[in-house]
Amino acid sequence: MSGSRSDLIAETLEQDILRGRFAPGTRLDETRLAKEHGVSRTPIREAFQRLSAAGLVEQVPRRGVFVREIGTVELLEMFEVMAELEAACGRLAARRIADAALDELEAANAGCRAAMEAGDIDGYYLENERFHHRLYAESGNAFLCGEARRLHRRLRPFRRMQLQLRGRIPQSMNEHEAIMAALREGDAERAASLLRDHVAIQGEKFRLLVAGLRTAG
Amino acid sequence: MSGSRSDLIAETLEQDILRGRFAPGTRLDETRLAKEHGVSRTPIREAFQRLSAAGLVEQVPRRGVFVREIGTVELLEMFEVMAELEAACGRLAARRIADAALDELEAANAGCRAAMEAGDIDGYYLENERFHHRLYAESGNAFLCGEARRLHRRLRPFRRMQLQLRGRIPQSMNEHEAIMAALREGDAERAASLLRDHVAIQGEKFRLLVAGLRTAG
DNA sequence: TGTCAAGTTTTCGTATACAATTTGGCATCA
DNA sequence: TGATGCCAAATTGTATACGAAAACTTGACA
């Protein structure tokens, strides 16, 4: 279990799903995938179970596994939860964070600013991720950190999308600055509130994006 | 997958672990369990994967699966996250809840009160659970509801423990009343805050309980 | 007596074989 | 013509077989 094969296969399949190689609703054929990856059905099935636990596919008894449709509603719900988790991280971090960690957060934030000024969206995304991951860790709650990372990972492609919107990056940057200030002052409630809004806005932007696509398409 | 066998087996194993039939750190022997349940190793392994995803066991490559030690620290961390999740449910529910649902919550709460007056701890626990589950649902966020239920389930044995403490049930009851009042008034922030404290206290009580056991033993 | 190395044994991870169930198509009948 | 029942093919779920890696045993040597 967690055998090196099925580990890698699960990873690969996850990428394939997130990148849209398998359309939502598609049935994933065990035999076909087994041949494709040059292994037997067993590791494929193990990978399926992991994907299922991660919520990426749905297993229907005796019928197979299907790529889950992540509806807009569910996605917005997930953003709402992400907002609360990040708020929780912020609330706790504001009380517990050490000066050294504050500096590291500041460094990640500086990376964001540099990427913004360079107009480098991918770079901004990466540094932004570093900022948030660092924040999760500084909550001082390893379990919370894990849950936050798990959901962050699942929302990754959609968080990325909304960065494409005009003016979103400078806005996001301002939000980061405000969050940093609250953390530095140790104002837990303000940090929580700012972080909740910061993520909630991402959900909102995503909703706009989807609505735009729908009317445009 | 999600075959009826391995489903049931995972369920059974989970109960066995939570009830302490397998001490933390124990290795779970695939072959032995297979014989015990009258199946082959395959369904056992599938069950293991589910338990692993749920965080109940740890899989060490090429060595086997072990019942995870849930340390006091991690448990307190989980209570902290539970507090934040319930707070989130409360915040959202305060804005979204319908009158009919308020009545249902009130009914569950009345059940708690009846059990308290009858001195029925198990009954109180059950009605209390009904109250909380209902609240999760009334957040109007199915994803949040699912996450809350998942963590609630994992904390179930420990939430139960702290009810044994003298005076805890009336105190809990008072907290419920206050929460109901906030919800009825639609005061989101107060509902969130009260719920956070309500659960945080449970964590705190649990900590006291553990400390007591340690000095007593 | 303690330590280390080689061989044996156990156990995991994967492959393959088999059984049970669903699905699709075709024939039959109202 | 449309609906229904049955058979065949495909697919899942489970069992078993096999190769590889780790743990344990044994025995020799310092």
Per-residue H/E/C for A38-61:
CCCHHHHHHHHHHHHHCCCEEEEC
Query: Could you please report the per-residue DSSP string of B7-45?
Result: HHHHHHHHHHHHTTSS-TTPEE-HHHHHHHHTS-HHHHH
Chain B residues whose CB is inside 8 A of the A87 CB are 84
Three-state secondary structure call for residue A88: helix
Kindly tell me if the per-residue pLDDT of A214 is higher than 80: no
Q: Which residue of A has its CA nearest to B5?
A: A61
Q: What is the pLDDT of residue A1?
A: 58
CA dihedral of residues B50, B51, B54, B60 (deg, nearest 10)? -100
Cβ of B74 under 8 Å from any chain A Cβ? yes
Return d(Cα B123, Cα B112) in angstroms, integer.
Answer: 7
Question: What confidence score (pLDDT) does residue B96 get?
Answer: 94
User: pLDDT, tens digit, for every residue of B42-88?
Assistant: 999 999 999 999 999 999 999 999 999 999 999 999 999 999 999 99
pLDDT of residue B192: 98
Position A2 confidence tier, pLDDT thresholds 50, 70, 90? low
Q: How confident is the prediction for chain A on average, in pLDDT? A: 95
Q: Where are the alpha helices (DSSP H) in B118-167?
A: 121-138, 142-162
User: pLDDT value at position A59?
Assistant: 96
Please give the DSSP secondary-structure letter assigned to residue A21. S
Please state whether strand D lies within 7 Å of residue A27 at its CB atom: yes
| Inter-CA distances, B97 with A77, B100, B186, B196, Å | 16, 8, 9, 18
Strand D within 7 A of A41 CB: yes
| Residue-level pLDDT at A217 | 57
Distance CA(B125)–CA(B133), nearest Å, equals 12
Between the CA of A64 and the C1' of C25, what is the distance in angstroms?
Answer: 22
The SS3 call for residue B82 is helix
CB contact B120 to A (< 8 Å):
no
Helix (H, G, I), strand (E, B) or coil at A2: coil
The answer to whether the C-beta of B49 is closer than 7 A to strand C is: no
Domains and CATH numbers, chain A: 4-67 (1.10.10.10), 72-216 (1.20.120.530)
Q: How far is CA B142 from the centre of its chain?
A: 17
Tell me what pLDDT residue B1 has.
Answer: 62
Residues 52-91 of A with CB under 7 A from strand D: 59, 61-64
B84/B96 Cα distance (integer angstroms): 18
- The answer to whether strand C lies under 7 Å from the CB of residue A62 is yes
Residue A108 has pLDDT above 90, yes or no: yes
Token code pair at residue B82: 């539970």
CB-strand contact B40/C, under 7 Å: no
Distance from CA of A123 to the nearest CA of B (A): 30
Distances (CA, A) of B168 to A62, A73, B2: 48, 39, 40
Q: What is the pLDDT of residue B174?
A: 97
Q: How far apart are CA A43 and CA A29, in angstroms?
A: 13
| pLDDT computed for residue A143 by the predictor | 98
Residue A169 near residue A121 (C-beta atoms within 8 A): yes
DSSP run (H or E) holding B84 = helix B72-96
ipTM: 0.92
d(CA A53, CA B187): 36
For residue B78, give both structure tokens. 């989980």
Q: What is the per-residue burial (b if ≥16 Cβ within 10 Å, else e) of A82-110?
A: bbbbbbbbbbbbbeebeeebbebbeebbe
Contacts with A80 from chain B: Cβ below 8 Å: 92, 141, 143-144
Low-confidence ranges of chain B (pLDDT < 50): none
Do residue A141 and residue B1 have CB atoms under 8 angstroms apart? Answer: no
- What distance in Å separates residue B3's CA from the closest CA in chain A? 6
Nucleotide nearest to A32 (CA to C1'): D11
d(CA B103, CA B106): 5
Which strand C nucleotides have any atom less than 7 A from protein CB atoms? 11-17, 21-23
Return the closest nucleotide (C1') to the Cα of A60.
D12
The nucleotide whose C1' lies nearest the CA of A2 is: C13
Q: Which nucleotide's C1' atom has the smallest distance to the CA of A28?
A: D11
CA distance readout (Å), A159 to A84, A122, A128, B24, B163: 16, 12, 10, 39, 42
A61: contact with B, CB 8 A cutoff: yes
A52 interface with B at CB cutoff 8 Å: yes
Alpha carbon distance A209, A72 (integer Å) = 11
- Predicted pLDDT at A3: 65
Contact present, A113 and B47 (Cβ < 8 Å): no
B84 shares contact with chain A (CB less than 8 Å): yes
- Rounded distance between C-alpha atoms, residue B199 and residue B79, angstroms: 7
- Say what the pLDDT of residue A212 is: 84
The residue assigned the tokens 């009380």 is: A95
- Whether the predicted pLDDT of A197 surpasses 90: yes
B197 near A CB under 8 A: no
CA of B44 to C1' of D9 (A): 30
DSSP bridge pairs for B66: B27, B58
DSSP state of B167: T
The Cα A79–Cα B141 span in angstroms is 11
Rounded CA-CA distance B98/B121 in Å is 30
pLDDT tens for each residue of A147-171: 999 999 999 989 999 999 999 999 9
Is A63 near chain B, with CB under 8 Å? no
**Eight-state DSSP code of residue A129:** H
Spatial distance from the CA of B69 to the C1' of C3 (Å)? 34
